[in-house]
Structure 1
Amino acid sequence: MEILSILTLFFIFLLTLLFLSSLWRQQKRSHVLPPGPTPVPLLGTPNYLTRDGIVRYYPEFHKKYGKMFTVWQMADPVVVLCGYETVKDALINHAEQFSDRPEYPVIDSYTKGFTFVSANDHWPQFRRYILTTLRNIGVGKQTLEEKSQKEAEQLVQAMSEMGGKPFNPSHLLGCAVSNIIGAVLFGQQLDYRDKKLLDLITNIRKHVSNVLSMKHQICNMFPFLLKLPYLGQIIMKNSLYLVDYVREQLDFHKETLDIAAPPRDFIDHFLLKIKEESRKEGTKFHELSLTMYSSGLLIAGVDTTTSTLKFCVTVIAHLPHIQAKVQREIDDVTGSQRPPGMSDRAQMPYTNAVIHELQRHLDLAPAALFHALREDTEFHGYTFPKGTRILPYLSSVLFDPSQWETPDEFNPGHFLDEKGQFRAKPAFMVFSAGKRECLGVSLARMEIFLFFSALLQKFSLCPTTGAQMDMKSLRFNKDEIIKSWEIRAIPRSSHAA
């Protein structure tokens, strides 16, 4: 009993010491940081760092504290950037200083740093290589556009088989999107009923959900937990499934690679790069980096684009007057038979504007992934030390009243000039911005435009109930819209020739 009492007292003393140390560090650092909600010693402000916390609390903090405020991840400050001008100044005007990442122990434990979200010195080299390789494969070119148009035809056929009855289009959209990134990475496009494709989509969704979960955050804050028996395997189960999926593709490509023939896909390009770099000491081009970056492209190329398309087709079903105007424009440009192509986008400014406005209201990522400072940086009256965590609050950019005439309303005119032509808006940061902008932005934009316009060319999309919902209600329900809402796809009768 006496030993137990001594251990209890020691434990209490240790906790008290940690508590006071954390309190002292927070108070010392808070004097040189933007203001923010008061942190709890040891814990920080954990409820303000989840996705739900960002959506719920950050609008209020933005109003109260202005263009920057500080929240805490345990004893580490996180500086949140608000509004277009502040975010642009950081991610574009000071792109190099704000382009680093903090550590993510859970992801780093199996990727060994070869991922888009990791802090490492070799990322700029891989970013250049991946962008160049994607262009060489055909991203942004006619070859991949033609594959996407054929995939759009398959998507239209699959939706027509629903016979106008209510259904959740998430699965079909996920199959179409997965097949495009599958063609880019692996040179494969699978049947929508293929169990391999279904399992892949399921594990990608679960992986993304896990990365955003509280258990992931707790393990990132206390990485020693990953050493507990089975815990790491449980938390990373879906992630490791995706890694194994890519490794299977890699093994097949190694067996069938023809050095004399043109590369078939991303893996072929990377394998040839590995061979080219094999004699260089310390090269980062090897099978591990190939596997991990391919896994990252696969995840990024499926989940966000599928969610965006699901939101777009569901919300447009609740906006019949907007949908009818889009369909008239498609009919005028392409008629009823020829599928819309990327060359038509310039002649379809209203359709393009509607897609962009839908994405703005979707606000899929209210905040970007954590950035970190590469060096000590003076920014808007503060001096932030190297390594400070930065969180760009993208919702505040997409609804910034200084950038949008009617930020809370659904208004395609935000993306149209006085002549009715499409105009790009710098504050349209749905893919983030700067050196950490999404690598697949051009691929995602192509898929969204081709699939959305192909579906509206062939179907009138309708809600499953007669009640129409306003845009505020639809935006409030966006998570449920993406996950479970149903629509009806009614084949359009013969229209413009």
Structure 2
Amino acid sequence: MALLLLGLLGLLGLLALLRACTRGPRPAPRWPPGPRPLPLIGNLHLLRVSQQDQSLMELSERFGPVFTVHLGWQKTVVLSGYEAVKEALVGTGQQLAGRPPIAIFQLIQGGGGIFFSSGARWKAARQFTVRTLHGLGVGRGPVADKVLQELRCLMGQLDHYGGRPFPLALLGWAPSNITFALLFGQRFDYRDPVFVSLLRLIGEVMVLLGAPGLQLFNIYPRLGALLQLHRPVLRKIEELRAVLMTLLEARRPLAPGGGPVHCYVDALLQQGQGGDPDGLFAQTNVVACVLDMVMAGTETTSATLQWAALLMGKHPSVQDRVQEELDRVLGPGRPPRPEDQRSLPYTTAVLHEVQRFITLLPHMPRCTVSDTRLHGYLLPKGTPVVPLLSSVLLDKTQWETPHQFNPGHFLDASGCFVKRAAFLPFSAGRRVCVGESLARTELFLLFAGLLQRFRLLPPPGLSPAGLDTTPRPAFTMRPPAQVLCAVPRHQGH
């Protein structure tokens, strides 16, 4: 019996050896060109901390649209320009759907959530989120009604100022509250301590995530841990997580298995109660998904609406044309609806140009999930790949005046709205933003509603040219803190 077993094992070993020989050696990687790295720091000396995407675009002029940089010891492939980014994000299918292990997000999320996870956990969380948002009415009438309700609350706040200067950040309250209502099944009063705490913590975390010290931590995690560079953001994350846990526990009795789903958290809690044999929706991943949705769902739309208002104050002639179109199509009293976009081509073009011009999230790294051929190069599994979205939105081969705020980029000679293939603020491919439909609805209704009601002006003593449009350092390209005036246009409405 023992001899038979040894013989069988020997035969299996021989078969494995023959299979390995017939497969042949694994092909050697073929890396794109790039600058010569220095010991320890790689190419970090070539990248400006506050303008990393601009530095990478400058390197692409020397090394081409696909090149390699060394971030410390890590080889990273960078894609610059519309053609290179489109081919990678759309043409590679699942091969570029991974996310590299970013040190700070590994600590915060432990590989869970939606935006910084990979593999089975990411697929399950993404499919669940897309399905749940659709079930809650995103992209349809129910959510539009919620947005218009929040618009009325926001306009009430602006009315209290009576045309006097208000803080630009106030405009972020409405889109944040819309996200909270979808997540937790309730909107908050703007003075509610929970609402105030959430906005404060989200803002502080976003600023800390964009700090130079944290970028250093992500490149040299051991050194960063020794210097405690990650501690400030982790403390804020724990505060934020404690608030979210309170809101989660408040929903738990209201979300029994099989009961009606009134919000994203209800659906998450039900998913974790049954039909989850692999534990993909255990408590830790539920919290990770909620944290991702809170951070991304508030920050992007909130910052974009603030930018839109600031740019209207900066470009009064553009604001004139938007308000003329709104008055002609909607009049002073009827609120906008999503379907009005077809009748408001200039307003729609302006909102698209705001998103193109600000490049809110310049890049978000991907990762090859297998050996991948890209633009003639062979990248090994696990290679970080950075598609520079800013290089697409500022690509001089795609936009007539890429560095100017020009709504004409989205209009034809007849003044009709034109879709542009290089408009990719929400990315593309398998990792396209899960909240794109919600963000588009929110931005259009809030922007059109605000300009229908108010004239946005610089504060007294400041000209439009004096408004500051230099992005504030943060994880996203936030507008700088300042004030505007919202002067009512139609008294009595």
Output the TM-score relative to the length of structure 2.
0.87
Structure 1 equivalent of residue 463 of structure 2: 467
Structure 2 equivalent of residue 399 of structure 1: 394
Distance in 2 between residues matched to 1:50 and 1:298, nearest whole Å: 30
Distance in 2 between residues matched to 1:227 and 1:320, nearest whole Å: 48
The verdict on how the C-alpha distance between 1:49 and 1:191 changes in structure 2, with shifts beyond 3 A counting, is farther
Match of 2:412 among 417, 428, 433: 417
Q: Deviations over 1:144-195 (max 9, x none)?
A: 110110100111111121121122221x222211210111100121111222
Distance in 2 between residues matched to 1:46 and 1:462, nearest whole Å: 41
Structure 1 equivalent of residue 150 of structure 2: 151
Match of 2:323 among 306, 327, 331: 327
Structure 1 equivalent of residue 299 of structure 2: 303
Q: Name the % identity.
A: 35
Q: How does 1:476-491 map to 2 (within 5 A)?
A: 476=470, 482-491=479-488
Q: Deviations over 1:14-66 (max 9, x none)?
A: xxxxxxxxxxxxxxxx9943233332211222355676242442332122222
Structure 2 equivalent of residue 43 of structure 1: 41
Distance in 2 between residues matched to 1:49 and 1:298, nearest whole Å: 31
Structure 1 equivalent of residue 374 of structure 2: 379
Matched, 1:240 2:238: yes
Alpha carbons 1:314, 1:481 under 8 Å: kept: no
Distance in 2 between residues matched to 1:483 and 1:188, nearest whole Å: 30
Q: Deviations over 1:69-95 (max 9, x none)?
A: 222121111111011000000001113
Match of 2:184 among 183, 186, 211: 186
Unaligned residue ranges in structure 1 (runs of 5+): 1-29
Distance in 2 between residues matched to 1:48 and 1:137, nearest whole Å: 47
Match of 2:200 among 202, 207, 220: 202
Distance in 2 between residues matched to 1:307 and 1:388, nearest whole Å: 31
Distance in 1 between residues matched to 2:137 and 2:243, nearest whole Å: 23
Report the Cα offset of residue 475 of structure 1. 5.3
Report the Cα offset of residue 385 of structure 1. 1.0
Structure 2 equivalent of residue 283 of structure 1: 279
Instruction: For residue 390 of structure 1, give the secondary structure of its aligned residue in structure 2.
Output: strand
Letter in 2 for 1:87: V
Instruction: For residue 412 of structure 2, give the secondary structure of its aligned residue in structure 1.
Output: coil
Q: Deviations over 1:186-215 (max 9, x none)?
A: 012111122221211111112122222233
Q: How does 1:92-111 map to 2 (within 5 A)?
A: 92-111=90-109
Match of 1:263 among 261, 264, 272: 261
Structure 1 equivalent of residue 23 of structure 2: none
Report the Cα offset of residue 277 of structure 1. 1.7
Aligned residue pairs total 461
Letter in 2 for 1:361: F
Match of 1:444 among 439, 444, 448: 439
The verdict on how the C-alpha distance between 1:361 and 1:126 changes in structure 2, with shifts beyond 3 A counting, is same
Output the TM-score relative to the length of structure 1.
0.87
Structure 2 equivalent of residue 137 of structure 1: 136
Structure 2 equivalent of residue 118 of structure 1: 117
Distance in 2 between residues matched to 1:66 and 1:304, nearest whole Å: 30
Structure 1 equivalent of residue 20 of structure 2: none
Alpha carbons 1:35, 1:69 under 8 Å: kept: yes
Structure 2 equivalent of residue 19 of structure 1: none
Structure 1 equivalent of residue 19 of structure 2: none
Structure 2 equivalent of residue 25 of structure 1: none
Letter in 2 for 1:489: A
Distance in 1 between residues matched to 2:272 and 2:279, nearest whole Å: 9
Distance in 2 between residues matched to 1:355 and 1:138, nearest whole Å: 23
Letter in 2 for 1:349: P
Letter in 2 for 1:398: L
Alpha carbons 1:180, 1:189 under 8 Å: kept: yes
Distance in 2 between residues matched to 1:423 and 1:474, nearest whole Å: 30
RMSD: 2.5
Instruction: For residue 108 of structure 1, give the secondary structure of its aligned residue in structure 2.
Output: helix
Distance in 1 between residues matched to 2:201 and 2:378, nearest whole Å: 42
Structure 2 equivalent of residue 75 of structure 1: 73
Unaligned residue ranges in structure 2 (runs of 5+): 1-27
Instruction: For residue 277 of structure 1, give the secondary structure of its aligned residue in structure 2.
Output: coil
Alpha carbons 1:362, 1:475 under 8 Å: kept: no
Report the Cα offset of residue 232 of structure 1. 5.4
